[in-house]
Amino acid sequence: MTADPTRWLLVSGGLEIIVSSLLGYVMLLPMQPWGAGLRTRMPPARALLSVHLDLLMLALTQFAAGLAMKAIPGPRDRWAAVLLIASGWLNVTPYIWRMAGVDAFALAGAPLQRVAATISLASTLALISGWVMLVAGWV
């Protein structure tokens, strides 16, 4: 891969859309007449829907950031891209943790919950920081 942060963002966003699309198919399997047995072994579609939609939304933010970088190059584009890509993949972790029975939305409780919530917090801070870096470079 080249050192172009725009390319990094577009590739990462594209991969997120692929993963989200595949997850959409996985969500449909238990709804098929022949997939009734999967309903008891898979997380509910509602839980997977959160991951599915979050991946799509974060992919779109990466596309937007990549295209904006191309239109208005800034001095911190590389750092912003790294933060946005990291947050794009880590921001879904609270929903995945929730399916495993860990509340990653609350920074409290057992050590595992605290670690999960810290990752979630770091992801959100990375997303905000990446966008602040971009916008600050544009003004």
- Report the candidate in 135, 118, 127 with the shortest Cα–Cα distance to residue 9: 127
CA torsion angle for 67, 72, 75, 81 (degrees, to 10)?
A: -10
Q: What percent of the chain is helix, strand and coil (3-state, nearest 5)?
A: 80, 0, 20
Contact 123, 107 (CB under 8 A): no
Contact 84, 65 (CB under 8 A): yes
The C-alpha angle with vertex 63 and arms to 57 and 69, in degrees rounded to 5, equals 135
Structure letter (DSSP) for residue 23 = H
pLDDT per position in the chain (139 positions), as tens? 467 999 999 999 999 999 999 999 888 888 888 877 887 788 888 889 999 999 999 999 999 999 999 999 989 999 999 999 999 999 999 999 999 999 999 999 999 999 999 999 999 999 999 999 999 998 8
